[in-house]
Amino acid sequence: MNNIKLLFFATLRDRAGTKSMDLEIPEDLTIQGLKDKLARDFPNLAQSMSSVIVTINREYAFDEAVVPPSAEIALFPPVSGG
């Protein structure tokens, strides 16, 4: 198993009810797999997972990226500008 730290920002923090948490995930889990797991385990986050922006160790990550051991994963809602 892989122990990671999740950080939630903006509206995701409100929906998760916390700013951060430690989570144990299977090795070789992708970002998409992590988003699917979060949507299942935390129903308040489910709707946001399709458009969330993710970083791994402060670098943007795509859905097919594998979560490395002991990673810091940050989740951001989409940014809108005007």
Strands 53-56 and 72-76, how do they pair?
antiparallel
Residue 81 lies in a domain: no
Residue 16 lies in a domain: yes
pLDDT of residue 23: 96
**What confidence tier does 78 reach under pLDDT thresholds 50, 70, 90?**
confident
What is d(CA 67, CA 2) in angstroms, rounded to the nearest whole number? 9
**What confidence tier does 56 reach under pLDDT thresholds 50, 70, 90?**
very high
End-to-end CA distance of the chain: 43
**What confidence tier does 79 reach under pLDDT thresholds 50, 70, 90?**
confident
57: CATH? 3.10.20.30
Q: Is the separation of the CB atoms in 56 and 71 below 8 Å?
A: yes
Residue 33 lies in a domain: yes
User: How many residues belong to the chain?
Assistant: 82
The domain tally of the chain equals 1
Residues of the chain with pLDDT > 90, as a percent, come to 94
Please give the residue range of the domain that contains residue 55: 2-76
Residue 45 lies in a domain: yes
